[in-house]
Every structure is written in C-alpha cells, then in structure tokens.
Amino acid sequence: MADEKKNGLTVLVCGGGNAAQVATAMFASRYDTYAISLYADEGPRWKQAMCGRWNDQVNGMELTLDTGKKLISMPSDITNDPSIAAKADVIILAVPSFAHGQYFEAFYPYIKPGTVVACMPARSGGDILFNAKMKEKADGLAFVGFETLPWACRFTEWGKRATILGTKGSILAAVTPESESTRAISILQGLLGVFPAITKSPNNLGISLRNPGQVIHPGVMYGRWCPDKWDGKPVADKPLFYQGVDDFSESVLLGLSNEVQDVCRKVESLVPGFSLKDACTLHQWYLDSYKGQMADDSTL
C-alpha cells in the first residue's frame, strides 16, 4: 500500500552482562542492533565469542525465551567506540547504575536529537545525572527510567548463549520530559514485545524514591551487623542475606521505608498536583512484585 514503508530503527545496548546480552540477542532478531561495552576488552571478546566453531555451528547469539522458543541473531557490531551512539535511535543501558555517568559522558559528543535513552533499571537520580552529563543536549532527548529489569535472565555461555528464566507481567517507567512519554514508551514496548507491559509512571522522582535497593541493602546489612546485633567476632556459619532478616531488621527496614514516605508527602505538599503515588512502601513493593509467591505476605 502507498502508506506502507520500511520503518528502520537502530538500537544500541550498553553493557556485557546478563541483561545486556539478552537485550542484544532479542533486539537484533528484528532491528539494526549494536552493543557497546566500555569495560576493558569486553566488547572485542564478546564479538569473538559469537563466531561459530567447528563443534558449534551457531554463528551469532542464541537466546532461549521463557516460552521455550529460541532466537538466533547477529548484532550489526559490538564495539567499545562511543561514537556508535550517533547511529542510535534508542540507547538501552543494561549496566550497573555506577556506570551510567560514564556512558552518558562518553555519548555526549555523538548523541543525536530525539534519541530515546532508557536505563534498565534506573536508580535514584538517574534523570538528574542524565541532564548533567548531556548539558544543553538534554532538552532534545528522552530519558526513560525503568523501575527494574524486564526479565530474570542469565547468559549460559558468555557472549554466545543466554536464557530468559521469566518475564515480568508489567513494569513501571517514567519519561523525562513527560511530553515524550507516548513516543518513548511506544518504541520501548515494541522492543520488549507484549510482556512486560510498560505502565507509565508520572515522573522519575517517583521511580527514584520507589527504588527498593536503597532501603533493603543498607537496612538488612545494618540489622545484621550493627553493634546491637554483632559483637565483632567471626561467625560460625556463612550468613544469608534475605533469609537472615529478623524482627529487628524488619523494624529498621520499616523505619527507612517510612522516612521515604515522609519525603514523598512533603514534596507533594510543596508542589500542588505533583504525584509520587508510585513511590510506595517497601511492603507494598513486595506485594506488587511477588504477590502469590509468598507463603506469608503480612510482614516483611
């Protein structure tokens, strides 16, 4: 038909870990996809790992979906050169949050107006960091903060094979500026497929304050190793993280979570109409994420 055309899309995936390899393999099966790692020689090693060998005829990456189906794809390139950002319509950061600034800074000279930049997941203040690193270019870009990864996944053979163990039913994402929400979320939903369904969150501050890691990790560590709970002597058995949470640790976690809620209500009171509804309590976050998977969900 006259109104049908080839709609090209170029995707750049950042990182070399589990999520980056899954995203690269998935997106490369449909779109012009590149991967970049700024970590040492990870990019060239990954590129070499994809090559077929005499006892392995798969040339490219093999991704096993949680449906049992398999995809075999070959990204257009894997590199450590940040100038590749100039080609990208969408940039996906599937790297730890401490590396986000490094990638933003490296892409700044090359990124083109209109590019959608998504962090999976974003961590607290991701949009602020993005604006700081992109400077005057920030207003012409769309920053998307996801609350978490879309999948539970792992590579089974580094650089060659990866598996999606499970896909979330839905996932929250916020877009800055908000005026780019429809365009950015539509593009990202197309990349991910039917699941997870992306639910628009009002703002990235809500995503930042919803972040469970900023409560769970320091809270559990303090609850286990603070002076009131540990005498400073070696322990007999290797301690577990989540399984070691007791009533005292729960009280610490609830205290931290309640402080976040106090911040939310204060901000909402200062800015009429500003919603931080998605910055829920830690208990609610667990209910939203794992409802039906817990024997007792009445407490942390």
* Closest-CA residue to 73 (of 33, 42, 45): 33
Proportion of the chain in helix, strand, coil states, percent, rounded to 5: 40, 20, 40
Active site residue 283: no
Here the tokens at position 131 are: 């604006």
Q: Which residue has the tokens 């990790």?
A: 217
* Closest-CA residue to 209 (of 149, 121, 276): 276
* Closest-CA residue to 205 (of 283, 285, 117, 268): 268
Cα(278)–Cα(127) distance, rounded to whole angstroms? 16
Q: Which residue has the tokens 């991967």?
A: 35
Q: Active site residue: 112, 217, 229, 277, which one?
A: 217
* Closest-CA residue to 215 (of 297, 299, 280, 130): 280
DSSP 53: B
Judged by DSSP in three states, 71 sits in strand
Cα(184)–Cα(13) distance, rounded to whole angstroms? 16
DSSP 260: H
- Give the residue numbers marked as catalytic: 217
